[in-house]
């Protein structure tokens, strides 16, 4: 989501609110295990009431990022 400017009235085609809300809620659920997507998810959640296809494309980019980085993990070792 680098250099994407999200605005409320981007003059894009409006889309189904329930579908977009479902995507945003799934991203919110994933933030518990993926803190690297918290900022992008919070930006996308701002447009839940009037999303456009541009917002959907940005959400798809976040999901693509998640699928591309699924093998990356953070491990914490216990030090005695």
**Tell me: the pLDDT tens digits for 4-45?**
666 666 666 777 889 989 999 999 999 988 888 999 999 899
Over residues 36-78, the pLDDT tens digits come to 899 999 989 988 888 888 888 889 999 999 999 988 877 778 8
- For residue 72, the 8-state DSSP code is -
- For residue 76, the 8-state DSSP code is -
- The pTM (predicted TM-score) of the whole model is 0.75
Provide the phi-psi class of 3: left if phi over 0, else alpha when psi is between -120 and 50, else beta: left
- For residue 37, the 8-state DSSP code is G
Residues forming beta bridges with residue 14, ordered by sequence position: 52
Domain boundaries, the chain: 17-68
CA dihedral 26, 27, 28, 34 (to 10 degrees): 120
């Amino acid at each position: 989501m680098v250099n994407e400017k999200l605005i409320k009235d981007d003059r894009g085609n409006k889309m189904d609110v329930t579908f977009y809300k479902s995507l945003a809620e799934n991203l919110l659920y994933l933030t518990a295990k993926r803190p690297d997507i918290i900022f992008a998810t919070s930006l996308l959640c701002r447009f839940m009431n009037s999303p456009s296809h541009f917002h959907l494309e940005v959400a798809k980019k976040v999901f693509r990022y998640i699928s591309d980085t699924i093998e990356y993990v953070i491990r914490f070792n216990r030090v005695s």
